[in-house]
Amino acid sequence: MRFVPIKNVEQQSVLSLHRVRQGFVKARTAQANQIRGLLGEYGLVVPQGIAYIAQRVPSLIEDAENELPGTFRLLIQRLLDYLKALQAQVDEIEVQIKA
């Protein structure tokens, strides 16, 4: 049996920050994949990577030539806003971890 030293309150707090950050990163990846998949159903291909979604999706939403329905455009914009909120959470927690 291996014994592990008991962690103090500060160590537990830092470990909690890491776990929560990892959860937000996982949710952010899932959100990006969902956006990419929904756009793929309409024949619009976005390369893998969070940066590509942030760069290309707004222009795809505004492009009138791709014949996306108005409700779908609103839906993708809502999903994109949620993705940005997740990114903000990840950034805030990273600042806390570094501090």
pLDDT in tens, 37-83: 999 999 999 999 899 999 999 999 888 788 889 899 999 999 999 99
**Is residue 4 domain-resident?**
no
**Is residue 2 domain-resident?**
no
DSSP state letters, the chain: ----PPP-HHHHHHHHHHHHHHHHHHHHHHHHHHHHHHHHHTT----SSHHHHHHHHHHHHH-GGG---HHHHHHHHHHHHHHHHHHHHHHHHHHHHH-
Overall domain count for the chain:
1
Domain membership of residue 55 as a residue range: 9-98
The pTM score is: 0.84
